[in-house]
Structure 1
Amino acid sequence: MNERTDMPPRTAPNQPGFDPGRLSSGPRSAERRAGNREWIAAIVRASPGTTRADLMIETGLSRSTVKTVVAELIADSLLAEEGTGEPDRTGSGRRPALLFPVLPHVALAAVRLGHDRVEVALGDMLAQVTDHLEAEVAPGAAPARSLDVAADLFVRLLARRDPDAPDVDAVVAALPGPIDHDTGTVGSPSVLTAWSGIDVRTELGRRLGRQVHVDNDANLAAWAERLTGVGRDLEDFLYLEVSRGVGAGLVLRGGVYSGHAGYAGEIGHNQVDPMGPLCRCGQHGCVEVMVNAVEILRRLRQVNDAGPDDPRGIADFRDEVSARVLREAGSTLGSVVAATCNVLNPEAVVVGGDLLGAHPAYHEGLAAAIERHTQPVVARGVRVISASVASAPLVGALVRAGHVALGHEYEAESAGRHLPRSSENRLVYRGFLRA
């Protein structure tokens, strides 16, 4: 388990500074008991499957205190125990019970405002999508049009729910651009120009009649992979969202890092060819305009004289000529990713978006470029792997909505300007839904 450094130190009778008076009853004792409850509940939410022995190690609290607090939390339907873990270290051979959080039975909503389509999903506290609608919008459509479409899809989803279904408790929107931490607006006038300065939280919230939180789609997708996908066993990785645009989510020390103002991960606007096509940001030959999913699909259709119209069909191309096109595209992106790897030294590069499940040749080209352009010691430690979460930005938006529903302020709007510790930021989606 991860060591917590944000809680006050606990002293034991055999440690310097132990004060027997702290054990007395009264207001301070009640306050301490309440603090222990909150502390232990937070640890279990962050690390589902925790045992009582784990809690003793994590908190430094005595066996009797942990036992009492856990019993209270179970009695109050805040924790539940199920199954057994590995035999404890005492040699008794007993397998301890595993503790899980009991999650509120509420509905969550996720909205994805993409370059050419809008998606809205309803889900639960397990980050499971329970219903979903999407609609195409013209590339470059006015923001008001996309927001109106999102509102229409949301109303249609609500209308076809069971009348007894819980109300939507939290809404999170994903946008393919950098989000300013302080204002909640698209903060870069050169990326998503039409959206620049628009307060999406207010505009979408007014249309939905609910409070809305917003974040970058690659950051949310990285969260989804970190919590429910291939990133569960990774502390440091770079997530690539390759769709109509190209973005990145940085997972460092187990938490998503979005930079000082929220602009980290704008990998798509690194220039790879000064003589290349004009990018929407005003530069020529950005990696985004060179190897976004739509451009890759165009090349694949060109060499095959046919093929799907949707970039999500790229995975259907499996011939050798297509493999060459994909290998070259992966190499172009890899030349930029390599610089990030040299700086951050990640464990893995996770490829998602419309290229999820693409031909292995794409990964081969990406991996070869990383190996070619990074220091050998860095290259040896980096794996290129495919993302495993479909519609990851939507799932990540449900993850964040779960933060909101549990009353936790999401770190990207408050404390997210520093590197978050994984124990603080792993919202749990292994638990029991409260009936």
Structure 2
Amino acid sequence: MKPAQTRLRTGVLDLLATGGPHSRAELARKLGVSRSTMSLAIATLMADNVIKETDGNNDGSKSAGRPGTRLALCEPKGYYVGIDFGRIFIKAAISDANYRVLEQTEGDFDIDMPAEAALDLATVKVEQIIAAAGVDRSQIRAVGIGVPGPVDAASGELHAGSILAGWVGTDVTGGLSRRLGLPVYMDNDANLGMLAESVFGAARQANVALYVLLSVGVGLGIAINGKVFRGATGIAGELGHVVIDEHGDVCRCGSRGCLEAKISVNALSRALSISHGNISSNEMLRLAVKGDVGANRIVADAGALVGRSVGALCSYFNPEVVIVGGDLMRAGDSLLNPLKDAMRRFSIARATENVRVIPAGLGEQAELMGTLLFAGERARTAATASEIFGTSPQ
């Protein structure tokens, strides 16, 4: 099978797995191919008993050639595991093949934790949820990991300059795969949040969407026509390392005056400590929600700085929706209103006049759901490669 046919096959399976039944015309349109090309791919997948026709729905939609029928996966089976190495926590979940979460757990996580210790912790969490769910381990198809840092598109490992500086050079996916005896895949957490919002959340109907993740770090996910855009090497979306003050504090990435160094929740809590004494990021956010003047001021200033950069992005990408997620979003309108105002001041008027700026539809579950969806995507890609080339997944 040619590479283009492989990509088309995988694309069809991804759409049906995450979006449910589709007509032939819908699949052709979303994947950008002719109906005749799609018909050939569908015929092959049906012959392989991978997909099937289902009864039409009642919304009046029609599919080309066969009115009243749609295409769906043949009884999806198996399970996926997801691990979100959040910026202040770790979450793990196991889902069925339709991404219904069966079990979930979480705990504290320090981004300065050594990689090997973090992988040991993740292994314990995963073993707990597998046991609690009572699933057959042999039916787990893949594990997805989300990390707060850029992931190399070719190697699947962390780029230098990551907030997880001590992890760079560590075989994260291989190390966890050996511990669990399962295939493991990794991506940036903001990309995964964007993936989940595109499938299940606030970006389901958007052609172009931005997902801004504000926490201990600052991340950005970009989706175009429902697909996450990662750039040539996986660096796309490093909003946190846009320089906003060349004389500012040194950032973890080694540069000076990065947005992340200025408005991370830890940086904001340090700024508030001048008037409030030693204070945690959680307490800082709680005070902002209660209307504390100092807390609201630093959150509003952070929103304005983010809005300035996002406004520029709107001029570049012309999105329909900007979704804001992460811990800082707990501050609500104290953050969003200044962000919206700054967006409009620092962009072409037409680029932002119709843009919706909204909280993440999945809330603080977005990144975790994204790890499960990513595991499913990579498992299907690996299975297709195995069928074609006789290779085994990871």
Same fold judged by TM-score > 0.5? Answer: yes
Q: Which shows bigger deviation, 191-200 or 242-251? A: 191-200
Q: For 2:88 and 2:12, how far apart are their aligned partners in 1?
A: 45
Q: Does the residue aligned with 1:109 lie in a helix, a strand or coil?
A: strand
Give 1:110's aligned residue.
82
Aligned partner of 1:337 among 310, 335, 352: 310
Q: Does the residue aligned with 1:240 lie in a helix, a strand or coil?
A: strand
Aligned partner of 2:374 among 381, 384, 400: 400
Give 2:289's aligned residue.
317
CA, structure 1 residues 359+157, in 2 after alignment: closer, same or farther (shift >3 Å)? same
Residue 243 of structure 1 pairs with residue 215 of structure 2: yes
Matches within 5 A, 1:198-217: 198-217=170-189
- TM-score (structure 2 length as normaliser): 0.79
Give 2:388's aligned residue.
none
Q: Does the residue aligned with 2:90 lie in a helix, a strand or coil?
A: strand
Q: Percent identity?
A: 29
Contiguous gaps of at least 5 residues in structure 2 = 385-394
Give 1:229's aligned residue.
201
Give 2:233's aligned residue.
261
Equivalent AA in structure 1 for residue 119 of structure 2: L
- Over the aligned positions, Cα root-mean-square deviation in angstroms equals 3.8
Q: For 1:60 and 1:192, how far apart are their aligned partners in 2?
A: 46
Residue 192 of structure 1 pairs with residue 164 of structure 2: yes
Aligned partner of 2:353 among 376, 380, 386: 380
Q: Does the residue aligned with 2:155 lie in a helix, a strand or coil?
A: coil
Give 2:96's aligned residue.
124
Q: Which shows bigger deviation, 156-165 or 357-366? A: 156-165
Equivalent AA in structure 2 for residue 81 of structure 1: T
Aligned partner of 2:115 among 139, 143, 158: 143
Q: For 1:331 and 1:316, how far apart are their aligned partners in 2?
A: 15
**Higher RCO (C-alpha 8 Å, min separation 6):** 1
Equivalent AA in structure 2 for residue 135 of structure 1: G
Q: Across the two proteins, how many residue pairs are aligned to each other?
A: 370
CA, structure 1 residues 222+75, in 2 after alignment: closer, same or farther (shift >3 Å)? closer
**Deviations 1:292-349 (Å, cap 9, x if unpaired)?**
1333455678777898763896597142634444322110111122222222222221
Q: For 2:141 and 2:267, how far apart are their aligned partners in 1?
A: 39
Q: Report which of the two has the higher share of helix.
A: 2
Larger Rg: 1
What displacement does 1:48 show? 3.1
Q: Which shows bigger deviation, 325-334 or 370-379? A: 325-334
Q: For 2:331 and 2:76, how far apart are their aligned partners in 1?
A: 37
Equivalent AA in structure 1 for residue 367 of structure 2: P
What displacement does 1:186 show? 0.9
Equivalent AA in structure 2 for residue 319 of structure 1: G
Q: Which shows bigger deviation, 177-186 or 323-332? A: 323-332
Q: Does the residue aligned with 2:82 lie in a helix, a strand or coil?
A: strand
CA contact (8 A) 1:311 1:354 kept: no
Q: For 1:309 and 1:281, how far apart are their aligned partners in 2?
A: 21
Give 2:392's aligned residue.
none
CA contact (8 A) 1:238 1:249 kept: yes
CA contact (8 A) 1:293 1:355 kept: yes
